[in-house]
Chains A and B, each alone.
Chain A
Amino acid sequence: MDETVKAMTTEFEEYLRDESRVVGEAQSISFPKSEEDVLEVVSLMRKSKNPITIQGARTGLAASAVPNGGHIMNMGKMNKILGARFDEKENKFYLRLQPGVLLSQLRKILLNKNFETEGWSNESKSALANFAPGQWFFSPDPTETSASIGGMISCNASGARTFFYGPTRNYISSMRIVLANGSVAELTRGGQKAKGKIFSLDTLDLHRIISNLPDYQMPNVKNASGYFVREDMDLIDFFIGAEGSLGIITEIEVILLPSPKAIWGITSFFPNEKTALRFVRALRGEKVEGADIFNKKPVAIEFFNHYALDLLRKQKEESTAFAGIQELKDSYHTAVYTEFHGDSDQELWEVVAKLGTLIGQLGADENNTWVANNDRDMEKLLSFRHAVPESVNMLIDQRRKSDPTLTKLGTDMAVPDAYLDKVMDMYNSDLALKGLEFVIFGHIGNNHVHVNILPRNAEDYKTGKELYLQWSRQVVDWGGTVSAEHGVGKLKRAFLLEMYKEYGIGQMRELKRLFDPQGMINAGNMFTFN
Chain B
Amino acid sequence: MRIIVCVKQVPSTNEVNMDPVTNTIIREGIESVLNPFDTYAVEEAIRIKSALGGSIATISMGIPTVEEILRDTLALGADEGLLLTDRAFAGADTLATAYTLANGVKKLAPFDLIICGKQATDGDTAQVGPSLAVQLDIPHATDISHIESIDEKKIVCRRLTDDGYELLEMDLPALITVVKEINIPRLPSIAGIRASKKASIKKVGVNDLTVDESRLGLKGSPTQVVKTFIPSHDVDCEIITGKPEQQAATLVQRLTEKNLLDF
Name A's B-contacting residues (CB within 8 A): 266, 324-327, 349, 352-353, 355-356, 359, 365-372, 374-377, 380-381
Q: A326 is contacted by which of B31, B184, B192, B194 (Cβ under 8 Å)? A: B184
B interface residues with partner A (beta carbon < 8 Å): 12, 31, 33, 36, 184, 186-194, 197
Closest to B183 in A: A327
Beta-carbon nearest neighbor of B32 in chain A = A374
CB pair A377–B191 under 8 Å, yes or no, is no
Given A355-B190, A359-B190, A366-B191, 19 other A-B residues pairs in contact with their CB atoms under 8 A: A324-B184, A325-B184, A327-B184, A349-B197, A352-B190, A352-B193, A353-B190, A356-B190, A366-B194, A367-B189, A367-B190, A367-B192, A369-B191, A370-B187, A371-B188, A371-B190, A371-B193, A374-B33, A380-B187
Assess the B12–A375 pair: CB atoms within 8 A: yes
Contact in complex: B190, A372 (CB < 8 Å): no
- Residue in B closest to A316 when the chains form the complex, CB atoms: B184
Residues in A with CB closer than 8 Å to B189 are 366-371
Distance in angstroms between the alpha carbons of A87 and B186 in the assembled complex? 43
Are B36 and A367 in contact (CB-based, < 8 A)?
no
Note all chain B residues with C-beta closer than 8 A to A355: 190
- Do the beta carbons of A326 and B187 come within 8 Å of each other? yes
What distance in Å separates the Cβ of B196 from its nearest Cβ neighbour in chain A? 11
Q: Once bound together, how far apart are the Cα atoms of A374 and B187, in whole Å?
A: 11
Note all chain B residues with C-beta closer than 8 A to A370: 186-189
> CA separation between A380 and B43, bound complex, in Å?
15
Q: Smallest CB–CB gap between A417 and chain B, Å? A: 26
Across the interface, do B194 and A356 meet the contact criterion of CB distance under 8 Å?
Answer: yes
List A contacts of B188 (CB < 8 A).
370-371
Determine the main DSSP class of A at the interface with B: mixed
A374 to B12, CA, bound (A): 8
Q: Which residue of A lies closest to B15 (CB)?
A: A112
B187: A residues at CB distance < 8 A: 326, 370-372, 377, 380-381
- State how many angstroms separate the Cβ of B67 from the closest Cβ of chain A: 14
CA gap between A146 and B86 in the complex, in Å: 48
Q: Of residues B187, B192, B193, which shows the largest number of chain A Cβ atoms within 10 Å of its Cβ?
A: B187
B31 interface neighbour in A266, A365, A375, Cβ under 8 Å: A375
List chain B residues, Cβ under 8 A from A324: 184
- Could you tell me the distance in whole angstroms from the C-beta of A356 to the nearest C-beta in chain B? 4
In the complex, which residues of chain B have a beta carbon less than 8 angstroms from the beta carbon of A366?
189-191, 194
Contact of B186 among A266, A327, A352, A356 (CB under 8 A): A327
Chain B, Cβ-Cβ closest to A267: B187
Bound: A365/B190 CA distance, A? 9
Interface pair B190/A376, CB less than 8 Å apart? no
| Cβ A349 vs Cβ B193 within 8 A | yes
Bound CA span A310–B144, Å? 31
Q: Are B191 and A356 touching (Cβ within 8 A)?
A: yes
* CA of A372 to CA of B184, assembled, Å: 15
Cβ contacts under 8 Å, B193 to chain A: 349, 352, 371
With a CB–CB cut-off of 8 A, which chain A residues contact B191?
356, 365-367, 369
A267 to chain B, nearest CB (A): 8
Name the A residues within 8 Å of B31 (CB-CB): 374-375
- Do A369 and B190 have beta carbons less than 8 Å apart? yes
21 contacts between A and B (CB under 8 A): A326-B186, A326-B187, A327-B184, A353-B194, A356-B191, A356-B194, A359-B190, A366-B190, A367-B191, A369-B189, A369-B191, A370-B186, A370-B187, A370-B188, A370-B189, A371-B187, A371-B188, A371-B190, A371-B192, A374-B31, A375-B12
Least CB distance, A221 to chain B, in whole angstroms: 31
Contacts of B184 in A (CB 8 A): 324-327
Query: Which residues of chain B come closer than 8 Å to A359, judged between CB atoms?
Result: 190
Tell me, in angstroms, the Cα distance from A369 to B76 when the chains sit together: 12
Are B36 and A376 in contact, CB atoms less than 8 angstroms apart?
Answer: yes
Residues in B with CB closer than 8 Å to A365 are: 191
Residue of B with least CB distance to A132: B29
> Given the complex, which residues of A lie within 8 Å of B194, measured CB to CB?
353, 356, 366
A352 neighbours in B (Cβ, 8 Å): 190, 193
